[in-house]
Structures are given as C-alpha cells and as structure tokens.
C-alpha cells in the first residue's frame, strides 16, 4: 500500500501544504562563472490524500525527449493531481543538458553512481542529494529516457522480472513494448528499488532529438498511470490503446560486421523474419556492399540512425522471446 500524503510535505527544507503549488530549486553546485546552478523541482499537491508520484527526466543530459515529455505534463496541467502529490523534475542533469552531453562535467554517468556520496564527485553529490531530499517522499516514479549514440528506441517500459506490482503498473501505462531488464548496479532505478519505490523506466526516441510520436506515447501512458490511482485531473482524459503491450523476455543486438556507410531498411517496431535483410554496409567507392540479416525472428525495438558505422557498432536490437502479443 502507498503512503498517504502527509498534511505537510518538507522538501529541500521547505514545507509544501496540501493544495499548494511550489517550484523549489535544488542548488548543489555552481558554474565556472560562480553563477548558481538551479534544478527546478515542481511540486503540485491536492487537498485530498493520495500517493506521491515523481516524474523525472534528463538524468542523461542529452536525452531531451524525456525532458519534453515531463514538460508536456506540466504545460497540459497533467501534473495537477485530483488526489495526492505530483513532483516533476524535468532536467536532473542540468550540466549535461546545457552542454548537450550524456555525462556530468566530471565525465561520470550519473546513472551508474547511485546512491552517490555527500563528499564525492560532482555527479555523485547530485545522486546523493536526489535520494536524500526527494525520494524519501515518493511512492511511485516514472523516469524518462531515450536511446544514445544515434540509436532510436521504440517506446517501451523497462521493468525487473518477477515483480507482479511493476507488471501491473506496466500494463496500466500500456506502452507498445515492455522489456524485462534487471536493475543495473549504481543506477537510479536500482537505488529506488532498494528504498521500496516502485519505478517504471520509459525509453523512447534517441539523444539530441524530440520526436512527436514518442512524446505522445509518454504523455498518454502517464495519463493512464495517474488515472489508475485516481489522480488524473477531470480536465484530462486517458485514452486506452487498441493493442496489447508486447512483453519481451529476451533480446539481442545485431552488430555491424565491418565499418562503412550504413543504410537501414527496417522501420522501428516492425516484426522481422530470420534471415531478412535489415540493412547494408558499404564502402564510399562503390565496390563493397555487405548485407546485414536478422539472426532470428522478432520485433525491432532499436534502430541505429547513424549514416556511418564502425565494425562492432550496435545497429539493431531485436526481441527473441515474448510473454504475449506474439505475431
């Protein structure tokens, strides 16, 4: 059972009363100019008791599509709950967002160093304060991500296997795909799990890009998620999709056999047969063309959009084993 919203909620040393709307600023470090770097934490509270839900994005600074999804939740006032509390952090890694980089300026991936340290590296300090100041108030979380290095992810939920409650929440969110994936040590999801926070991780699109279809999937899934808890404002409606979520138990990467110019033929989310030609890799001189074929039948849940690849680069991610939704 979720905790009921307390009569007063204290975040970053400030108290937010039921019915209040507040934007707090998490200030941990400064820019080289000594300018304060502020991470807005947007809190919306209902007068009625209910769960506290966190929507976060920008843990990787170049994954802008996730930032856009949380921004849309705010613009459309989806973050104003009928009951309970909704916390939005559109951009956790502001340093990376400013520099259009995945990592912090110290070169560290924040999503690999949780729970962090009060006196550690810059990224480690941010991880520490996020867990210390925000997460103790949270019951549920959806963390929004995108594919990296020109790799475009089909809209999907990532969840750990053998967790009935997360499976139910994934069913409610109803993304086109859901991928069973163990928690990665040092990740935000892993730390939240250890603290008893139920987290869904949404993946969709690619870095340094905003895709309207991905944004819509993220927003619509969030509406369904909030409606399930009775938190969705009457001003908003949740739309039920026609198709079932396709749950993927196993999947694998297809890698480039050699370096060269890359031309893919397969649309993201499509189903391919074993041996089907997915792409060609060619030299720039018109002498060599190498076909890339599907190693097995399955759904293509990630496609590399790069025009040039190196030998060994991941170019397609294909499912291999479904719980239901088989073709």
Name the pLDDT band for 323 (thresholds 50, 70, 90).
Answer: low
Q: Among the listed ranges 9-18, 30-39, 256-265, 289-298, which one has the minimum average pLDDT value?
A: 30-39
- Maximum distance among all alpha carbons in the chain? 72
Residue 185 has pLDDT above 60, yes or no: yes
Average pLDDT over residues 294-300: 96
Closest among 281, 277, 288 to 262, alpha carbons compared: 281
Could you tell me if 42 and 14 are in contact, meaning their C-beta atoms sit under 8 angstroms apart?
no
Report which of 24, 29, 214 is spatially closest to residue 110, judged by C-alpha positions: 29
What average pLDDT does the structure give for the chain? 93
Are 9-228 and 252-319 the same fold in CATH? no
Q: Find residue 280's DSSP bridge partners.
A: 263, 291
The pLDDT of 237-265, averaged and rounded, is 94
Model confidence at 134, pLDDT cuts 50, 70, 90, reads very high
Whose tokens are 């749950």? That residue is 247
Beta bridge partners of 252: 318
With a cut of 70, say whether residue 217 has pLDDT above it: yes
> Would you place residue 119 in the very low, low, confident or very high pLDDT band (cuts 50, 70, 90)?
very high
Which of 6-20, 160-174, 250-264 has the least mean pLDDT? 6-20
pLDDT in tens, 15-61: 999 999 999 999 887 777 787 788 999 999 999 999 999 999 999 99
* pLDDT over 80 at 7, yes or no: no
Whether 139 has a pLDDT exceeding 50, the answer reads yes
pLDDT tens-digit readout, 74-117: 999 999 999 999 999 999 999 999 999 999 988 999 999 999 99
Categorize the per-residue pLDDT at 325 as very low, low, confident or very high, splitting at 50, 70 and 90.
Answer: very low
Domain ranges of the chain: 9-228, 252-319
For the domain spanning 9-228, the CATH number is 3.40.630.10
Whether residue 6 has pLDDT greater than 70 = no
How confident is the model at residue 174, as a pLDDT? Answer: 97
For β-strands 251-255 and 314-319, DSSP reports them as antiparallel
User: Is the preceding peptide bond at 264 cis, omega within 30 degrees of 0?
Assistant: no
CATH architecture classification, 252-319: Beta Barrel (2.40)
Q: What confidence score (pLDDT) does residue 327 get? A: 32
The gap from C-alpha 299 to its chain's centroid, in whole angstroms, comes to 20
């Amino acid at each position: 059972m979720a905790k009921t919203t307390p009569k007063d909620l204290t975040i970053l040393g400030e108290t937010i009363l039921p019915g209040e709307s507040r934007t707090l600023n998490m200030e941990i470090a400064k820019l080289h100019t000594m300018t304060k770097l502020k991470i807005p934490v947007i809190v919306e509270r209902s007068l009625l008791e209910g769960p506290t839900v966190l929507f976060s994005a920008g843990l990787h600074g170049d994954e802008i599509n996730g930032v856009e999804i949380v921004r849309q939740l705010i613009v459309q006032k989806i973050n104003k709950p009928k009951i309970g509390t909704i916390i939005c952090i559109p951009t956790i890694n502001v340093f990376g967002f400013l520099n259009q980089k995945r990592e912090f300026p110290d070169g560290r991936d924040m999503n690999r160093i949780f729970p962090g340290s009060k006196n550690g590296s810059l990224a480690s300090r941010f991880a520490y304060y996020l867990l210390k100041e925000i997460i103790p108030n949270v019951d549920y979380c959806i963390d929004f991500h995108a594919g990296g290095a020109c790799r475009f992810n089909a809209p999907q939920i990532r969840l750990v296997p053998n967790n009935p409650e997360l499976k139910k929440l994934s069913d409610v969110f109803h993304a086109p795909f859901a991928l069973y994936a163990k928690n990665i040590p040092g990740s935000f999801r892993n730390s939240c799990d250890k603290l008893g926070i139920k987290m869904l991780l949404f993946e969709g699109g690619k870095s340094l890009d905003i895709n309207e279809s991905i944004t819509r999937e993220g927003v619509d899934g969030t509406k369904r998620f909030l409606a399930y808890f009775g938190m969705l404002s009457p001003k908003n409606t949740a739309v039920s999709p026609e198709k079932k979520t396709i749950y993927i138990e196993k999947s694998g990467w297809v890698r480039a056999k050699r370096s060269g110019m890359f031309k893919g033929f397969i649309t993201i989310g499509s189903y391919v047969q074993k041996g089907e030609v997915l792409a060609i890799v060619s030299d720039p001189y018109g002498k060599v063309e190498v076909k890339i074929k599907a190693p097995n039948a399955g759904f293509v849940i990630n496609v590399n959009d790069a025009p040039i690849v190196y030998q060994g680069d991941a170019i397609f991610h294909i499912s291999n084993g479904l719980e239901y939704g088989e073709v």
